[in-house]
Structure 1
């Protein structure tokens, strides 16, 4: 993925990693459209960051995805990058259905069906662009499970395999598939994570991701150094130790 000169839509980017990347990409000379559910928050972001476009979208709602895609493409027919950022993470107790079923349904709807719906809405258009990118967002927890968040772990593992499969299917098109694999980052994704000493500072994560995008434009997986502990435990042969360390030290995934 080239670091500048793109038109980029980032649903789920009104805060946290999504917003940080949206602002960093805009500073590098890209046209960036931020998507989110709350109209008031989108209006505030547009006022605070002139030049940043906004579109209301709820990726859990198929009609909202369809309407947002139409609006984005009408205003930005040169769109060539989709970053499927929206996601939720919740602690669950799978000993009884009331401890997980409602949560799991919501997580799968947002974290798995959301990106699928987004890709469905834009994939034909992206194939008309000479240089296009779909960026998915998985997690280090796609590769090493955090005990407290079974559905989140599974949803991100699904995104990893979806990314791998799409890369094969779209190899005959102009569309690249890139997977961003964050570690725990200091955001509000989970209670207490924003101040967790085990989570990576957001500004450090953003800077490292931007540096990787610039130095490795053909990379298929964007991995900051801190996520490699989780990503490659099985390949290194220390998977059991990685699981033990993760679940002993950090309730938020780092």
Structure 2
């Protein structure tokens, strides 16, 4: 996809991967709108010159207000990135985990759908544009310590595939970004996490490929994406299951 002279909205763009990609799009010459819940971070980013919008992807009214404000001020909007996401360890032996599971589904999966639904009519009317969904390597190779996170990311993958098929012929393309563990706040506990700068550089290079790849796969995530095909799935899931020992009472 063309990364310059675009107007890009990143939902969940106030930190981590979303913010870094926003900076890369801006450096390439695109207008960038960063969305998030924390008004203090939005104010800081306005000071950097970004357009910002308050949005809570778990709240339909908030999504609708953000859409209206963005399309009023940026009618040329032609790219959406659904970056917002959360993830929590869960003990599935303890029914109390359901609170975390519900929040994860509401933000990661339903939040993705809310944002896509809000802007799809605009992009279809334009007859061109790009939707970038964000799944995860964990959606293809589960991390048993974070079961609902993995489930939502697998669902985002399936939803992206269906969305692409349904938008075929409209001029709106769908690309799925599949990050591995990246050294952000969420991935900070993983000593093997890929550096944010390295990840963003590789992602932007892949995004520039024509035609836009259906899946944006950096080198580090290939072992996750193709584990079943390569016959390494069971072994890798068993390795990743060792993290369950960190749950209370599992030592």
With normalisation by structure 2, the TM-score equals 0.94
Secondary structure of 2:234's counterpart equals helix
Question: Can you give the 5+ residue segments of structure 2 that lack an aligned partner in the other structure?
Answer: 246-251
Instruction: Kindly indicate whether the alpha-carbon contact (under 8 Å) linking 1:229 and 1:242 is maintained by their aligned counterparts in 2.
Output: no
Q: How much has 1:249 moved relative to structure 2?
A: 7.8
Q: How much has 1:250 moved relative to structure 2?
A: 11
Q: Which residue of 2 aligns with 1:168?
A: 165
Aligned-partner Cα distance in 2 for 1:188–1:3: 26
Between the two proteins, the alignment pairs up a number of residues equal to 245
Secondary structure of 2:168's counterpart equals helix
Question: Can you give the 5+ residue segments of structure 1 that lack an aligned partner in the other structure?
Answer: none
Whether 1:55 and 2:53 are equivalent positions in the alignment is: yes
Q: Which residue of 1 aligns with 2:190?
A: 196
Q: Which residue of 1 aligns with 2:133?
A: 136
Q: Which residue of 1 aligns with 2:26?
A: 26
Q: How much has 1:182 moved relative to structure 2?
A: 0.1
Deviations 1:166-200 (A, max 9, x none): 111100211101000000000111xxx32632110
Q: How much has 1:215 moved relative to structure 2?
A: 3.0
Secondary structure of 2:25's counterpart equals helix
Aligned-partner Cα distance in 1 for 2:209–2:111: 30
Q: How much has 1:237 moved relative to structure 2?
A: 1.9
Deviations 1:14-45 (A, max 9, x none): 00000000001110011100001111210111
Aligned-partner Cα distance in 1 for 2:190–2:168: 40
Instruction: Kindly indicate whether the alpha-carbon contact (under 8 Å) linking 2:36 and 2:53 is maintained by their aligned counterparts in 1.
Output: yes
Q: How much has 1:239 moved relative to structure 2?
A: 1.3
Whether 1:228 and 2:222 are equivalent positions in the alignment is: yes
Paired residues for 1:73-152 under 5 Å: 73-98=71-96, 100-152=97-149
Aligned-partner Cα distance in 2 for 1:41–1:3: 25
Q: How much has 1:89 moved relative to structure 2?
A: 0.5
**Which deviates more, 58-67 or 212-221?**
212-221
Secondary structure of 2:52's counterpart equals strand
Aligned-partner Cα distance in 1 for 2:139–2:52: 30
Change (3 A) 1:21 1:111: same
Which of 166, 174, 178 aligns to 1:177? It is 174
User: 4+ runs of 1 displaced by more than 4 Å?
Assistant: 248-251
Give RMSD over aligned pairs.
1.5
With normalisation by structure 1, the TM-score equals 0.93
Whether 1:244 and 2:242 are equivalent positions in the alignment is: no
